[in-house]
A and B are shown apart, each in its own frame.
Chain A
Amino acid sequence: MKEKKVKIINKAGLHARAAVPVVNLASKFSSTIQIIKDDSIVDAKSIMGLLLLAASCGTELLIRATGEDEELAIQELEQLFNSGFGEE
C-alpha cells in the first residue's frame, strides 16, 4: 500500500469537469485507489465519490493505492492534482 498527501490548488476545486481526468487516470490502473478526506473514503474511479468529497480549493486529500501498479498510480495522480487539473 502506498499513500501520498495532495492539496487542491485550482480555484474551482475538484469540480465535475476536473474530476473527469482523475477518474480516467485512476481507471487505467489495476490497483484499488482511494481518495481520503477527513473521515470520508471514496473510490478514485467513481466520479460520484469524488464529487461527494466536495473538495474545494485548499482542501488536503490523501491518495491511497493498493495493488501491483500502486507506485506508478500514486505518482501520476499526484502529478495531476499538483497541476491543478490543468486549470488556473
Chain B
Amino acid sequence: MKQNNIILNGVAASAGVAVGKVFLLEEDVFSYSKSEITPDKIESEILRLENAIEKTREELESNKNELNKVLGKNYAKIADAHLLILKDSMIRDRVIDMIKKGNNVEYSVHKVVADLSKTFDLIDDEYFRERKHDLLNVAKKVLRNLLGKTKKTLSDLEEDSIIVAKNLTPADTVTMRENLVKGFVTEIGGKTSHTALVAQGLEIPAVVGLKDITHKVKQGMTIIVDGNLGLVILEPSEETIANYEREYEIQITNRRELEKLKDLPAVTLDGKEVVLGANIENSEEVKSALKHGANAIGLYRSEFMFLSRTTMPTEEEHFQSYSKVAKMMMPYDVIIRTIDLGGDKIAKLGLMDVAREENPFMGLRAIRFCLKYPEIFKAQLKGILRASVYGKLKIMYPMISRVSEIQEANKILEQAKKELIQEGKPFKNDIEVGVMIEVPSAAIISDLIAKEVDFLSIGTNDLIQYTMAVDRVNADVAHLYTPMHPAILRLLKQIIDSAHEAGKDVGMCGEMAGDPAYTIVLLGLGLDEFSMSAVQIPKVKKIIRTVTRQKAKNLVDNLLKCYTIKEFDTVMKKFKYM
C-alpha cells in the first residue's frame, strides 16, 4: 500500500481528531429532464408537487423531533427554518407559475431553486450566503420525493467511520451519534454552517470546505481527520496513524477526566484549597465561567463598557452591568478592575480629547488616567459600590506604581461613598479594595503596598513585559518574553511572601495563571487564587489535585537555585518524571 501522507487543508469546523475508514456518502443523482407538459396535465403536475411537499414535511417533522431529543430546542429550530423554507410562498408561487407555463414539476423546482441560490451567491455576508445550502437541502428532499426514491441513511455503517460527503444536512449529522461516527469531512460549508454547529454540539471532529474530497477518497480507505488544524490526511503512514491514535486516546481520556472535575474542589493532595476564578469582559461570559467550574471572577475587565459608544458610561450603566454579574456569581467573589484604558485608546474611541503620547504604554494609563480625571473614575466607583449590595464585589486598581496612588484613589472612593450616603443609595461600606501588581516598582515595594490594601493580584502579562523590557508582540524580541526567568520567579516570590506576611491574600490574573505548565510552580510559591480564561480551569484544577504543597515547594526551591532558563527546563523535566 502506498503511504504518502497526503495532507489536504480545509476549514476546522469542530475540534478533535479521528482515524477511521471512509464512508463515502454519495450524492443523490437525480435523473430528471426538462419536458413540456400539455395544459390538461397542469393540474396533476401541481398535485404531484403538493404530495412531494407533504411527504417532505413529514420527514422534516420527524427530523425535528429527533433533533429536539438529541440536541435540544435550539437545534430543533434549524428544522423549523427548513419547514418554513418548504412552505415559503416565494418558492412555491414561482414553481407553480412555471408549471402553469408548461414545464414539468421536476424542472420547475430545479430552476426556481437554482435561480434563487444564485441570488444568495451575491450576498457579501458569509453567514447569509451560506443559507443557500439550507434551501438546496430542502429542495433535494422534495426532488427525491418527487422521483419516489427511498431515503438513504447512515444505518448501514458497521464500524466506526469517517463520513465523507459533498454536503451533510443537520439531519444526517444527528443520526451520526447513534452510529458512532468518528468524524466527517465535507466539500461544502464553513465554520458557521448548521452542520458544523451540530458537530460541535456533539463533539465530533469535522473538517469542511474541502473541495473535491469526494472524488479523492474511496470507500473504506483509511484517512485521518484533524478538526483542530482543519486537516485531512490521505494515505497516512503507519507512524502518522500511530501518532493520531495516541492523540485520539489522550483526547478521550482528557475529556472524561475534565468533565468529572467540574464539581470537585481545587485542592492539593494534602488538603490545601485554592480558588480558581475566571477572567471575563462582560456578563455574557459568566455562564461559561460557571460551566467550567469557576469559583470566582478574578478579573472583570471593565473596559468593555467603554467600547462602541460615543459618551462615557454613566454611574447607572456601571451599576447595571456590575450588579448583574454580582448576582449571577453569588456566593462567589467578583473582582472588578477599574478603568484600565490608556488615554490614546480613549481619544481613539472619541470619548474625549487627550493629548497624543509618544509612548502610550508608559503613559497616561489606568489609575494615572483615573486620578487625572476623577469624575470619570468616581462614576465607576459609585456604580461598583451600589452594585456591591447584590453580591460579593471587590475593587481592584490597575497599574499602581507607588503607595500614594492607592491613597489618592481611596480618597476618591471615600468621596464616592459620601455622595451615595447623601443620595440615600445603599452600598457595602466594607467592600474590599486591592491592587494589581504589574509594574516592577510595585512588585519591589509589595510589602508596603500590602499594608494599604485588602488583597493583591499579580498581572503577569505586563509585569513580565515591564521587567524584561520586552514587547511580546514584536516578533524580533518576543522570544525574550519568558515567565520562567530567575528575575520573574524572585519577583513573584517576593510579592506573594510580603502579601502573606501582611496577612493578605494574593491572586494572579495574567496568562501565566491559566497555563498548566506553571501551575505547580505557582502553587509552590503559595498563590491563593488563580484567575484565567474559563476553558483553562479544568486543566489547571486537574494538576492541582495531583500534588502536595510540599512537593510543589520543593520544586520552587530547586528552581530558585537556577541561573539560566536552560537550567529551569532541566529542573522542570526532572520534576515531571519524578
Q: Which candidate, A42-50, A64-72, A75-83, is the interface stretch facing chain B?
A: A42-50
Kindly state the separation between the CA atoms of A17 and B85 in the bound complex, as whole angstroms. 12
Inter-chain CA distance A45–B80, complex, in Å, is: 14
Chain A interface helix/strand/loop/mixed: helix
Partner of B89, one of A12, A17, A45: A45
Structural contact, A47 and B123, CB atoms closer than 8 A: no
B85, B128, B129: most-surrounded residue (chain A CB, <10 A): B128
What residues on A are CB-neighbors of B116 within 8 Å?
48
- Contact of A17 with B78 in the complex, beta carbons under 8 Å: yes
- List residues of chain A with CB within 8 A of the CB of B89: 43, 45-46
Q: How far is the CB of B79 from chain A (nearest CB, A)?
A: 10
- Give the A interface residue count (CB, 8 A): 20
B390 in contact (CB, < 8 A): no
Give the CA-CA distance A75 to B84 in the complex, in Å.
23
One of B88, B125, B131, B284 near A16 (C-beta < 8 A): B131
| Chain B residues, Cβ within 8 Å of A19 | 81, 84
Cβ contact within 8 Å between A52 and B119: yes
The answer, yes or no, to whether B90 is at the interface (CB within 8 Å) is: yes
Residue of B nearest to A20 (CB): B80
Q: Within the complex, what minimum Cβ distance (angstroms) separates A71 from chain B? A: 23
B481 is an interface residue with CB less than 8 A from chain A: no
Asked if B429 is at the interface of the complex by the 8 Å CB criterion, the answer is no
CB distance from B111 to the nearest CB of A (A): 15
In the complex, what residues of B have CB within 8 A of residue A46's CB? 88-90
- A23 proximal to B (CB < 8 A): yes
List A residues 17-51 near B (Cβ within 8 Å).
17, 19-20, 23-24, 43, 45-49, 51
Distance between Cα atoms of A15 and B284 in the complex (Å): 20
Distance of A43 Cα from B87 Cα, bound (Å): 13
Q: Inside 8 A of A17's CB, which chain B residues have their CB?
A: 74, 77-78, 80-81
Instruction: Indicate whether A48 sits within 8 Å of B90 (C-beta atoms), given known contacts A54-B124, A54-B125, A56-B125.
Output: yes
B78–A15 touching, CB < 8 Å = no
Indicate if the CB atoms of B81 and A16 lie closer than 8 Å. yes
Fill in one digit per residue for B67-105: 1 if any A CB lies within 8 Å of its CB, else 0: 000000010011011001100111100000000000000
Count B interface residues, CB 8 Å: 25
CA distance in complex: A48, B138 (Å): 12
Is B367 in contact with chain A by the CB < 8 A criterion? Answer: no
Please measure, in the bound complex, the distance between the C-alpha atom of A24 and the C-alpha atom of B80, giving whole angstroms. 10
Query: Is B563 located at the chain interface by the 8 A CB criterion?
Result: no
Q: Would B127 and A13 count as touching, CB distance under 8 A?
A: yes
B125 surroundings in chain A (CB, below 8 A):
13, 54, 56
* B90 close to A16 (CB less than 8 A): no
* CA A48 to CA B84, docked complex, whole Å: 9
| B506 contacts A by Cβ under 8 Å | no
A47 CA to B89 CA, complexed, in Å: 9
Cα-based distance from A52 to B78 in the complex (angstroms): 17
A29 to B478, CA, bound (A): 62
Let me know if A51 and B91 touch, CB within 8 A: no
Taking a contact as CB atoms closer than 8 A, the residue among A12, A13, A15, A48 that contacts B85 in the complex is A48
The smallest C-beta distance from B566 to any residue of chain A, in angstroms, reads: 47
CB neighbours (8 Å) of A24 from chain B are: 84
Residue of B nearest to A17 (CB): B77
| Distance of A88 Cα from B286 Cα, bound (Å) | 14
User: What separation, in Å, do the CA atoms of A48 and B88 have in the docked complex?
Assistant: 7
B123 touches A20 (CB 8 A): no
Do A48 and B124 touch across chains, with their CB atoms under 8 A apart? Answer: no
Considering the complex of A and B, which 7 residue pairs feature the smallest CB-CB distances, nearest first? A54-B128, A47-B84, A17-B77, A16-B81, A46-B90, A54-B123, A20-B80
What are 24 contact pairs spanning A and B, CB under 8 A?
A13-B128, A15-B127, A15-B128, A15-B131, A16-B81, A16-B134, A17-B77, A17-B81, A20-B81, A20-B84, A43-B89, A46-B89, A47-B81, A47-B84, A47-B88, A48-B85, A48-B91, A48-B135, A49-B90, A51-B128, A51-B131, A52-B119, A56-B125, A56-B128
- Knowing that A20-B81, A56-B128 touch, tell me 18 more A-B residue pairs with CB under 8 angstroms: A13-B125, A15-B128, A16-B78, A20-B77, A20-B80, A24-B84, A46-B89, A46-B90, A47-B88, A48-B88, A48-B90, A48-B91, A48-B116, A48-B135, A51-B131, A52-B120, A52-B128, A54-B128
Where the two chains meet, the residues of A that have a C-beta atom closer than 8 Å to any C-beta of B are 12-13, 15-17, 19-20, 23-24, 43, 45-49, 51-52, 54, 56, 88
